[in-house]
Amino acid sequence: MKKHKTNKAWIHEHVTDPYVQRAKAEGWRSRAAFKLIELDEKEHLLKPGMTVVDLGAAPGSWSQYAVRRIQPGGSLLALDLLEMQALDGVTFVQGDFREQAVLEQFEAALGGRTVDLVLSDMAPNMSGIQMTDQARVMDLAELTLAFAADHLKAGGDMLVKVFQGAGYMELREAMRQIFEVILVRKPSASRGRSAETFLLGRKKRSTGMQ
């Protein structure tokens, strides 16, 4: 009974959500587009000619927005565990980012190119057990940071979704070793009750692997 009430409340919230309505009206694949749009407008993340990676891309609203902003001359590689409908100008790899074989396939798709911007809106399937979910979220964020350390060019940026909790401060400290500037952002389109926030690492340091 409680689960039924929770589902009903979520459906009501979703249907009446102004960002859901705007996404439908403007042709975005999900309301998540407005998170990236707001962050890009404030931080000027995306520019023509960039090579961009979008991790946790499905259903594709971030890729949908980003690929427009990096033209002409840009390229975008997207990855998700779930299937994603094709987008013009986007190379998509389906698989689990935590698996070495999938990571190698994704790196092969990069073809040796260094990356200007890593985007990650990845989140695990939630179990409802807070400690477990937090550990999974932070694991994905740490993998994103490792990927950025290996593939971002000097001066490049990384935007990653995290939940504040265990491991959060440790991740911020690890990011400080790689980026000159660390910013914390919670866009308006993030639901108020959600613990999600975004860490933005700017200007990857020139030391270390390139």
**Residues with active-site annotation:** 161
Q: To 10 degrees, what angle do helices 61-69 and 33-43 make?
A: 30
Q: How large is the C-alpha radius of gyration of the chain?
A: 17
Strands ordered across the beta sheet of 75-80: 90-94, 75-80, 51-55, 115-120, 152-163, 196-204, 179-185
Backbone φ and ψ for 204, nearest 5 degrees, come out as -55, 135
Cα torsion 164, 129, 35, 80: sign: positive
- Largest distance between two CA atoms of the chain: 56
Nearest to 147 by CA among 35, 14, 56: 56
Q: How many CA atoms lie within 13 A of 162 on its CB side?
A: 28
Cα torsion 160, 157, 151, 170: sign: negative
Helices and strands of the chain, counted as H and E runs: 7, 7
